Each structure stands twice: as C-alpha cells, then as structure tokens.
Structure 1
Amino acid sequence: MPDGRLAAGGRLALTTFTVAPLRAGRVDRSTAGTAMALAPAVGVLLGVLLGAVLGVLGAVAPPLVAGGVTVAVAALLTRGLHLDGLADTVDALGSYRSGPAALQIMRQPDVGPFGVTALVLVLLLQAASLAALAGRPWPALLAAVAAGAATGRLAVSWACRRGVPAARPDGLGALVAGTVGPVTLAGLSVGVALLAVPSVPGRPWQGPLAVAAALAGTLLLVRHLVRRVGGITGDVLGAVVELGTTLFYLGLVLTG
C-alpha cells in the first residue's frame, strides 16, 4: 500500500469515526477502502481512551455512573453520528417499508419512536455493561473497552466487504461499499480477536467468542438491510458500529 494512500486513508478514518480536527484530504474509493480497513485501529485508539476514563471514574464513583459517563464521552468523541445512524436505521426497519421508501425515512432529520427506543436500549446496555467491567484489573479493563470499540469498527469493515452493494448511488455507502477484500478482513478479525483475549481474566476464550458473536449479529443485520433497502448507507454503518460494540460488551458480562 503506497504511503500516500495509507496517510490519506488514516486521515479519512479518523475524521469519519472521531471528532479529530483534521483537514479533509483526498477522498476516493481507493482511499475509502483504506479508511474502512483502518477502522478497527481507530476503534482501538478510542477504546484505550474510553477504558482509561472508565477506570479512573470507577475508582471514585459508583460503577453505573462511571459506565454512563464513559458512554457519554464515547458519543462526544464520535459526534453521536453512529447513534444517529442507529436511530435512522431502526426507524426505517420499524416502518415495514422497503427500497426507496425506507431510504427516505433514513434521510428524515427527526427520530421516530422505534429509533428512540433503540437508542435508549443500546445506551442502557452499554452503560450497564461498562459498569460491570469497571472493577476489573486495568489490563483486562483496557483490553475489554478497546476490543469493544474495535469490534464495532471491524463490523463496519465487514459491512464494506466485496459483494455488499450500496443502497444509493451517492453518499458514504456508495463510496465505501465493496472496498474491503477477504484477506484484509481475515487479518483484521484475527487481530481484534487477539486483542480481546485478556478481556476476561481466567477465560481467554471469552473475548474472542464475544467478537465472533458480535460480528455474527452485525452480519445478520447487514444481510437483512440489503434485502430491505438494497445495500448499505452511512446510517447502516453507524448502526453496525453501535450494535457490534453492544453485543461484544454483552458477550463479556453475561457469563460473568
């Protein structure tokens, strides 16, 4: 991969998945593919920061408060874009419409009852799961939160794999659809699974299993959305981030 494309892709990944105040650089499908491949690495950076926030707060505040504040910080660091995508996607699915009619619902600026319900549930589950992780040793805590954020972005890489179409001829979905190849996906998946190994002390298998379960859930969602709306959009990618992260956290805490 040429150095120029890697740098441009890294800049695009940071500006897409975080509030990093970087200038917009080159934006084309080649750069977009690099950005989607680097998405899990951006997740690791975010996760380490959020894990530090959770660890510090967990030492001075009740676990649920620490978890709630950490979720709020995550929303601030991502401009709430993924949450907005989740709400829009669930509203479209809840309408029981398909094709252009469902896409039109995604475009609307307001949030309907299905979207609000999805936001409340996801934020509650994330805060409660992080609260359960707050008391773990620092190495496990940082690994868990970093792997959770990386898993959500790894799900985006998978959503952008070859063979998955864009729902519209314009927008973020059209730019990134089909840009990530199978070899890259395999390497990214192994890397995130290894990152998750220390997440649960004494159970090295549980973290990688949580990664696999989260990916399975997001792949099912993408498959359903391809049938309903014709492919992926920027909103779909946001929904995938939040669902993947939430499922990973649940996979770590449901069995202790």
Structure 2
Amino acid sequence: MRRRADGLLLAFSWLTVLPIRGPEEIDRGVAGRAMAHSPLVGLFLGGVASAVLWVTVASGLSPMLGGLICVAVAALLTRGMHLDGLADTADGLGCYGPEERAREIMKSGSAGPFGVAAVALTLGIQAAALGQLAQQHLWWAIAIIPVVGRVWVVLGCRRGIDAAAPNGFGALVAGTQSAVAVGLWLAAAAAVSIFARPERPWQGPLVVVVAMVAAVVVARHCVRRFGGLSGDVLGAGIETTTALTAIGLLVGS
C-alpha cells in the first residue's frame, strides 16, 4: 500500500505544481508506479478544466476566450513542462542532423521556429476545441480529455521501449509499464469516454482508439529519430493526444 501511495504522490509531485512531496528516493520502480498513476493526475486536471470553463460560460465570455483561459490554467498547473517537451520535440524533428545533434538541440533550452509553431498551433487547437465543448455543455467530455492524454503516458512507457539516454527522466520511466497496466488504462479510458457524447456513445471510445494509434505512430518515429524515449517525447505526446481527443469529440457537433 505504501508503495502505491508513493507512486501516486510522485505522480502529482512530478506532473503538477501542487505542494505535494514525493518519496525521497526515486528509482525505476517508484518512477514506473508514478507513470501508472498519471491518468489520475489527468482526472484532477480535467475536473479543474471543467470548472474553469463552466465559470467562463456562466460569465458570458466567448468560447474561444474561455478555452484560452483554460489552457493557460492547465499550463500553470503543469509548470508548462509538457509544452516545453512539445517545443523541444518539434525542434528535434526539424533537425536534419544525426540523432546526437537532434538531442543536443532538444537540450539547448531555447525554442526554435518549429517548436514555437508547434506550441502555438497546439494551444490554439486545444483552446478552440475546449471552448466549443463548453459552449455545448459537454462537461464530461472536457473532464476526460486530460485523462486520455495521460493514458498515452502509460502506453508510451510500455515495455520494449528504450530510453534515449542512460540518465534523465526517460531512463527512469522508459519500459516500466506492463501490458496489463496499458490494457487496463486503455479499457478504462474507452469505458468512461462512452459518456462524453451521450447521443453517440460509440464516438468516445473510437476517438480514444484513434488518438492512441496516432500517438503511437508519432512516438515510434520520435523513438527512431532520437534513439529512444525521453521526457520531451512524453510531454509532446500528452499535448498532441489532448488536442486530437478534443477534436475527435467535436466531430459531428
């Protein structure tokens, strides 16, 4: 029980700005349990997103403005680290040099044109989609979108995936998730997404499947390009999966 609690605390300590202290000693076992709990962090963020958007709708703000406020709050709650990972990954993919050069660019600490464009487009898509979902009062859909984004983390850290470097975040979490953990979270995400569009209960599970397949394809390319998994790739996967899920839940509106 204590080991599970350590994993949950570390997940919130790593993935949010909440003043929660994780375990003092962190190895691959604890890090793996933290990644297995990351969808619960998504549930917390989804609840906050629903509340923020409900307030913006009740206040008479435009859907786009409400969506922008929502993504800003999400960035604050997550330290913006997933956006940083998205920018670094985009810049790395835009490099034509060998994988060592691509990883060097990703570690430079600055954002290039590919990174800026990727962040701007992704945030714009998320804001517009979330605002439209709020306008339609699809609060459960809004709540589960960050969950789906974090289920990707479990899938991205599945066994058989190597880290891009022998140290760092990727080395702690790559290959830590069993097929059972991946299957359980995918099934849970598909199950809760049934209620995202009550009039079309099949749409949510279909969106989850499509978003995960797309994320796996992109991540596989990143792993080949960079020589393994890194924290930046996981962050990029969260942001892009979040955007794809939001778009998918709006199709047919």
TM-score of the superposed pair, with normalisation by structure 1 = 0.95
Q: 1:168-204 CA deviation, whole Å, 9 max, x = no partner?
A: 0000000001000001111111111111111113011
- Distance in 1 between the 2:72 and 2:104 partners? 29
Q: Which amino acid aligns with 1:30?
A: G
- Distance in 2 between the 1:132 and 1:165 partners? 39
- Distance in 1 between the 2:218 and 2:228 partners? 11
Structure 1 residue 71 displacement after superposition: 0.7
Q: Which amino acid aligns with 2:135?
A: G
Structure 1 residue 84 displacement after superposition: 0.3
Whether 1:54 and 2:53 are equivalent positions in the alignment is yes
For the residue of structure 1 that corresponds to 2:135, the secondary structure is: coil
Which piece of structure 1 moves more, 18-27 or 203-212? 18-27
Q: Which amino acid aligns with 1:66?
A: G
TM-score of the superposed pair, with normalisation by structure 2 = 0.96
Please name the residue that 1:27 is paired with.
26
Please name the residue that 1:242 is paired with.
239
Structure 1 residue 226 displacement after superposition: 1.4
Please name the residue that 2:117 is paired with.
117
Give unpaired runs (5+ residues) of structure 2.
Answer: none
**2:91–2:105 Cα contact (<8 Å) kept:** yes
Match of 2:168 among 164, 167, 171: 171
Q: 1:205-243 CA deviation, whole Å, 9 max, x = no partner?
A: 111111111111110111001111111111111101101
Please name the residue that 1:254 is paired with.
251
Give unpaired runs (5+ residues) of structure 1.
Answer: none
**2:158–2:177 Cα contact (<8 Å) kept:** yes
Q: Which amino acid aligns with 1:234?
A: G
Which piece of structure 1 moves more, 111-120 or 222-231? 222-231
Identity of aligned residues (%): 47
Structure 1 residue 99 displacement after superposition: 1.6
Taking structure 1 as reference, are residues 251 and 168 closer, same or farther at Cα in structure 2, changes over 3 Å only?
same
Please name the residue that 1:38 is paired with.
37
Q: Which amino acid aligns with 1:42?
A: V
- Distance in 1 between the 2:98 and 2:121 partners? 24
Please name the residue that 2:67 is paired with.
67
